[in-house]
A and B are shown apart, each in its own frame.
Chain A
């Protein structure tokens, strides 16, 4: 299994540009989520999904959209990039939440917005 994969690894955007961060998992996990990691702030939840077709907002959803058309994929869209969105983005997945399953994280995407 490849686990959780993310593309691209690094991206530079100009303010106002849009882009999609890709996330895929091959473990048949129902639960997927997006976090951003900023210095001194730990990880903050952006959006999450409890299954195909079901998404919800996390702690910091503004400026981001998600969709979950398949179990495997959970892309994160930046509609109009802003410098405040410069961060490292992690996608994570887990089998279920019922038994407090641990999350598996992807390698991350470093985003720089100029």
Chain B
């Protein structure tokens, strides 16, 4: 069975410092990986995805993620955190071939950026 692990319930980082939100996955076949962000009382918003190609994926709001096949990881990163980045972040994985029923979300990591 496929799975996603977000080992940290919360990550605290000072404004201006680099941030990393960790995600590891387990899936049979080729992984398609996603990061979503959820602001309070809002739905999830897409940040970025890895399908194939370059292991470093750039997304919205200055975020990027690095796909590491050997470590089965897809960590979300940003060089300089903003207070407005404070939100809940979800990693998701699906395998190919596979449909919506094959999407698995992580439990989420709350990012707190401290002014």
Is the C-beta of A15 less than 8 angstroms from some C-beta in chain B?
A: no
A45-B103 in contact given A100-B32, A105-B44, A106-B43 (Cβ < 8 Å):
yes
Stretch of A36-44, A65-73, A74-82 contacting B (4+ beta carbons < 8 Å): A36-44
| A58 lies within 8 A of B46 (CB) | no
A108-B43 in contact given A48-B101, A50-B99 (Cβ < 8 Å):
yes
Q: Which of B44, B94, B101, B107 contacts A90 (CB 8 A)?
A: B44
Chain A contact surface mostly: strand
Residues of B within 8 A of A (CB): 4, 32, 34, 36, 41-46, 49, 51, 90, 94, 96, 99-101, 103, 105-108
User: Beyond A90-B44, A97-B100: 13 further Cβ-contacts under 8 Å?
Assistant: A4-B43, A33-B100, A42-B4, A43-B90, A45-B100, A48-B99, A48-B100, A56-B101, A92-B43, A103-B44, A105-B36, A105-B43, A107-B42
Q: Which residues of B contact A48 (CB under 8 A)?
A: 99-101
| A40 lies within 8 A of B44 (CB) | no
Q: List 16 A-B contacts (CB under 8 A).
A: A31-B100, A35-B105, A40-B107, A41-B107, A43-B44, A45-B101, A48-B101, A97-B99, A100-B32, A102-B34, A102-B49, A105-B45, A107-B41, A108-B41, A108-B42, A108-B43
